[in-house]
Amino acid sequence: MTKLKFLIGSMCSAALVAGPSFAQERAPENLLPAQSEGVGEPAPQPRVSEQQSAPQPSVDEAFGDIRMQPGEVVQEIPSLVGKWSVENARKLLAFIPTLEAEGLRPADYETSALQSAIAAGEGQALNEIASQTFVWVVEDLRDGRTPMEARKQWFVVDPDADKMPTHVILERALASGDIAGELTALNPVSPDYARLKEELARTSDPAKRKLIRANMDRWRWLGQDLGKQYLLTNVPEYQLRLTVNDRIIKNYRVVVGKPGRTATPQLAEMVEAVIYNPTWTVPQSIVKGEGLGAKVLNNPGWARANGYKATKGANGWVTVVQQPGPGNSLGLMKLDMPNEHAIFLHDTPSRHLFAQDNRALSHGCIRVQGARELAMTMSMLGNAKTKSDLPLIQEEVSEITQSGEYTRYAMEKQWPVYITYFTMGVDVDGKLTRFADIYDRDAPVLAALDAPRQQNRARKTSEEAVEIIDDMQT
């Protein structure tokens, strides 16, 4: 089977030192995997906000009063009630203790009430109590137990509640009698989640168990299936990985946002294009606040040497744009992934920063070591239909880069990009590792997991987007 292979060894080194030209590079061999491996398939769309208000389909007469809850809540059908047999209810009761292996607390699901209802036999009481218990388990396994207010700067909208509605899961479970199977199928499918689960079973240290549980829950905050191919940055790890079929094909060191106001938020977006030779529009906090506008206007020689152009409007408003070039604050490329935070992945002229261990240094955007190789790779993966297309794309991109002109190179096959925050997980070398909690985001998650289970949890954060307005080099 053909596998995706990338520039390695001396070829990677050449990509980092070759300057603004791709002319000396050659296309990575076997870049496109066979169609059966999924790289040629359309990527999933992480953003699903347009689906959240969609009405739920009707269900059969086995279900009782079904009303939509106003607002975006996880429990989309709060009074969902199915018709339970004693046998199915006993299966549910037997399943609840197994939730401890998934990092959840069996005590959250009020098993004593379910036991009493089972003892009383079939009827409305059993239907209501068993249905409520089932819905709680579905929500926690599918969407995560942590309430949104404890997920700091988490702007990912999990699509699973739309893809796997609670009422459909309940209807299917009661029809088949496979209560455990339907619930188990909600677990994250990532091998990284499985590794955390294995470690949870092995360790007895209370603090370590809590941290593992928190990071297992973080996997539930994402879509169950991230897709066959995607880019993923784990901010505390300072790494970007290009993944195909659960295998890391290439990883890159990254610089992420400084703690505080410019901390990098967590997002799930789509890479729509590669921007070659980007310009940088300088924010007014620097143009006016730091006097750059006046300096550019009054020192044209200095401005030309540093690539700045300024225009002054009739109202006196000064706009400064840094032109494309090796000294541009965005380097020679950026990945275009439109979002309200103005976060993107880009090159940088300050490449010495990648040698540091602590790389939380930017104003929020993610700087990528080897960004030009990544840009070429994305251009190829996003547009090549067959291997014969690769040399043509490489030649075209090389000409664009050498031109020094701003160029937006659209990707026909867009790629999901996930910006995540795991403080324990599988690192790029395949080892289960603990990462520094650089933004202090563990504490609220750990506290929420110890607190009583919260019902009717919001699906989307109410935090305001912090727009990253600049990425001046450190």
Residue 79's H or E segment, with its range, is none
Q: Which two tokens stand for residue 147?
A: 């309430």
DSSP state, 154?
B
Q: How far apart are CA 269 and CA 197, in angstroms?
A: 27
* Rg over CA atoms, the chain: 25
- Do 211 and 442 contact (CB within 8 A), yes or no? yes
DSSP strand pairing (360-362 vs 247-257): parallel
Q: How far apart are CA 97 and CA 258, in angstroms?
A: 41
Looking at the DSSP assignment, which residues form a beta bridge with residue 433? 425
- Do 240 and 252 contact (CB within 8 A), yes or no? yes
Q: How far apart are CA 369 and CA 94, in angstroms?
A: 50
Residue 66's H or E segment, with its range, is none
Q: Which two tokens stand for residue 389?
A: 């297309």
Q: How far apart are CA 311 and CA 306, in angstroms?
A: 16
Please name the amino acid found at residue 424.
M
Kindly list the catalytic residues. Answer: 346, 365
**Torsion angle, alpha carbons of 102, 444, 469, 406, to 10:** -10
- Do 366 and 255 contact (CB within 8 A), yes or no? yes
